[in-house]
Amino acid sequence: MEQDQLDSVLVTAYAKAPQGSAMYEVYKHAGIVLEINSNNHKIINAEFTFITGLAQDFFKRMIIGFDMSSNLEVLVKRIEKHYFAPSTTSVIVALKAAHKRYHEKLKQLEEE
């Protein structure tokens, strides 16, 4: 398969993890990796720098299917409503950075 035939892109972003948290002790940062469908802008896969598989799975279920071309605050509110941890703010900052990077790259590609 040629590279131009891929229907998705990979976007990464990071934020500082809260000191004293397990995430900080292991990774120092909250990292997010999103695979996004290039055609409909929906998240089709995701990974995070969480320590446990349960947290990884929970977050995947919470964000897969989200349309990155829509209002990100909808997803932020979902995270705030369902994820109670010291790293909540760090995860949201990383998600916002990934969202921004995705849209900046889309704009750059349109201008080429």
What pLDDT, in 10s, does the model give residues 24-66?
788 888 899 999 999 999 999 999 988 889 999 999 999 999 9
Spatial separation of the C-alpha atoms in residues 45 and 11, rounded to whole Å? 11
Spatial separation of the C-alpha atoms in residues 88 and 23, rounded to whole Å? 11
Q: What integer pLDDT is reported at residue 24 of this predicted model?
A: 78
Compute the C-alpha angle 101/84/102, nearest 5°: 10
Residue whose entry in the numeric block shows the structure tokens 């995701």: 46
Give the SS3 label for residue 18. Answer: coil
Which residues sit opposite 37 in a β-bridge? 8
Tell me the pTM.
Answer: 0.88
CB atoms within 10 A of CB 102: 19
